[in-house]
């Protein structure tokens, strides 16, 4: 597979999920050297953050990166997931804030942005991450495993001690077509009892029923309901695709995840980094 970038510069606007502030994002073609984020609102020379495992931090509520000078970009996992699905390996992402636009809480707005910009192949070949022997990581009741597989497949199981959302299981071959059809529209979600806590701690300030599914004891608050009965586990698959994109290598393997999350995802990616 060839490395890829966008065919032309393109921008979009929106609000960040956690800070709730307006942000403009500009995508700029890049010929090599991976994904680079640039904070246009900060001092030049100290405002660029390379996508790498070494730059990840504070993974409790999302996947975030920062450079040695402290310039940071928060909540990048949805965007990275869309990049992985579109097979984009090289890009400059310029922002005038510290988050990316949340859109409707899924990744379909990012895929549409890539479609409008076009995608261009580069001369260099992408370096596949080929799994030849099983790798696993467990922390309490959370588990991640990757097995040798000719292709990219994810099996994901979630379980919550909750009256409405208990267990869900999904499995998909991860191709651009399957991702767009089965995963891209799955929205981020949270529980109604978390909302006050999050806002008190200056999180989810941009969250609303327009960009997140809010779960109650009997269903969801969103008047339109769910996009699939198992939308929650599909969104968790969307998240892990984004988290593993920090490696910025096409994966050939079968990922099996049980109750994983950003912290475990990134720890797992570190195990795969040198394969």
207 and 266 share one domain: yes
Q: Which of 104, 125, 146 is the last residue of a domain?
A: 125
Q: Is the pTM of this model over 0.75?
A: yes
49-60 pLDDT, tens digit per residue, is 999 999 999 998
Cβ(113)–Cβ(100) under 8 Å?
no
Region 58-70 average pLDDT: 95
pLDDT at 198 over 90: no
Taking the CB of residue 77, how many other CB atoms lie within 10 A of it? 26
Taking the CB of residue 236, how many other CB atoms lie within 10 A of it? 25
pLDDT at 238 over 90: yes
pLDDT on residue 199:
81
pLDDT at 208 over 90: yes
Mean pLDDT across the chain, nearest whole number? 96
Q: Which of 125, 153, 185 is the last residue of a domain?
A: 125
137 and 108 share one domain: no
Q: Band of the pLDDT at 204, cuts 50, 70, 90?
A: confident
136 and 121 share one domain: no
Residue of 78, 235, 254, 262 with catalytic role: 262
91 and 163 share one domain: no
Distance CA 240, CA 5 (A): 22
Where residue 10 sits, what CATH number does that domain have? 3.30.230.20
Distance CA 33, CA 49 (A): 12
Asked if 235 is an active-site residue, the reply is: no
Domain interval for residue 63? 2-125
**DSSP state letters, 11-40:** EEEEE-TTT--EEEEEEEE-SSS-EEEEET
Which tokens sit at 218?
């009997």
10-61 pLDDT, tens digit per residue, is 999 999 998 899 999 999 999 999 999 999 999 999 999 999 999 999 998 8
Where residue 260 sits, what CATH number does that domain have? 3.30.1700.10
Q: Which of 73, 98, 125 is the last residue of a domain?
A: 125
231 and 263 share one domain: yes
Q: Based on the structure, what is the number of domains in the chain?
A: 2
Distance CA 78, CA 181 (A): 16
32 and 162 share one domain: no
90 and 156 share one domain: no
267 and 138 share one domain: yes
190 and 89 share one domain: no
88 and 185 share one domain: no
39 and 109 share one domain: yes
Closest among 138, 113, 146 to 241, alpha carbons compared: 146
Distance CA 39, CA 34 (A): 17
């Amino acid at each position: 597979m060839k490395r890829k970038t966008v065919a032309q510069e393109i921008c979009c606007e929106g609000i960040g999920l956690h800070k709730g502030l307006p942000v403009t994002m500009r995508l700029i073609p890049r010929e090599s050297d991976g994904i680079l984020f640039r904070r246009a609102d900060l001092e030049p020379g100290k405002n660029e953050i390379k996508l790498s495992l070494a730059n990840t931090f504070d993974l409790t509520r999302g996947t975030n990166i920062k450079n040695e000078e402290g310039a940071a970009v928060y909540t990048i996992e949805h965007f990275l997931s869309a990049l992985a699905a579109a097979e984009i390996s090289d890009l400059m992402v310029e922002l005038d804030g510290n988050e990316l636009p949340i859109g409707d809480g899924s990744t379909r707005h990012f895929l549409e942005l890539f479609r409008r910009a076009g995608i261009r192949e580069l001369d260099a070949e992408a370096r596949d991450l080929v799994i030849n022997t099983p790798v696993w990581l467990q922390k309490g009741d959370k588990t991640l495993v990757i097995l040798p597989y000719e292709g990219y497949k994810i099996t994901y199981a979630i379980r919550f001690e909750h009256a409405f959302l208990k267990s869900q299981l999904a499995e998909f071959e991860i191709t651009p077509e399957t991702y767009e059809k089965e995963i891209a529209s799955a929205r981020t979600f949270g529980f109604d009892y978390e909302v006050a806590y999050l806002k008190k701690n200056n999180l989810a300030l941009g969250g609303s029923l327009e960009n997140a599914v809010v779960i109650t004891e009997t269903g969801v608050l969103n008047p339109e309901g769910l996009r699939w009965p198992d939308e929650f586990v599909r969104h968790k698959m969307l998240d892990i695709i984004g988290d593993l994109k920090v490696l910025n290598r096409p994966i050939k393997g079968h990922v099996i995840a049980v109750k994983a999350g950003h912290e475990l995802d990134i720890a797992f990616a570190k195990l795969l980094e040198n394969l």
